[in-house]
């Protein structure tokens, strides 16, 4: 059962991005959030900057608050690594620390991790055209976002 969705944004992208597209996509249940039920809680925060090491402290704090104030466990949390972290896009290239951040999440007990959040149609078209790099498949049209 999903009890909370966390959107983890790139700190560098967050410096110029309000996160509106990700939160709007969540509330409208589009893109990577299409299958979530209404009424689900969500929160977002930034990774803290390269190399993402502050994710450990933030997730530990979240786990502590969840234990003290809710019945939601780490197994009930789905962490979305925002599209600004996991894709080549107009903010930046894919985060070079994604695997490290995933290992921190797993170490802290957060194993439900999804790559992606808001699905930008413009960025998707740039991937199809080969302008942005595809990280999931073999060619520019294979990106799952």
> Taking a C-beta distance cutoff of 8 angstroms, is the pair 82, 22 a contact?
yes
**Residue found under tokens 């999440």:** 105
Instruction: Name 65's Cβ contacts closer than 8 Å, sequence gap at least 6.
Output: none
55: its two tokens: 């994710």
CA 21 to chain centre: 12
Measure the CA–CA gap between 9 and 2, rounded to whole angstroms.
20
- What is the pTM for the complete model shown? 0.84
79: its two tokens: 């962490």
138: its two tokens: 């073999």
Averaged pLDDT, 17-44: 93
**Per-residue model confidence as pLDDT tens digits over 91-127:** 678 899 999 999 999 999 999 999 999 877 777 676 6
**Exposure of 96 by Cβ count < 10 A (0-12 exposed, 13-18 middle, 19+ buried)?**
exposed
Measure the CA–CA gap between 32 and 30, rounded to whole angstroms.
6
Q: For residue 125, what pLDDT is reported?
A: 78
Averaged pLDDT, 49-73: 95
């Amino acid at each position: 059962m999903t009890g909370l969705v966390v959107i983890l944004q790139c700190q560098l992208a967050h410096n110029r991005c309000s996160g509106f597209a990700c939160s709007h996509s969540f509330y409208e249940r589009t893109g990577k959030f299409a299958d979530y039920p209404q009424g689900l809680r969500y929160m977002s925060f930034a990774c803290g900057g390269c190399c993402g090491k502050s994710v450990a402290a933030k997730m530990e704090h979240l786990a502590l608050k969840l234990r003290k104030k809710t019945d939601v466990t780490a197994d009930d949390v789905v962490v979305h690594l925002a599209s600004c972290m996991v894709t080549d896009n107009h903010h930046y290239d894919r985060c070079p620390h994604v695997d490290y951040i995933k290992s921190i999440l797993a170490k802290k007990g957060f194993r439900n991790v999804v790559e992606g959040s808001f699905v930008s149609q413009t960025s998707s078209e740039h991937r199809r055209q080969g302008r942005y790099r595809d990280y999931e498949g073999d060619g520019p049209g294979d990106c799952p976002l």
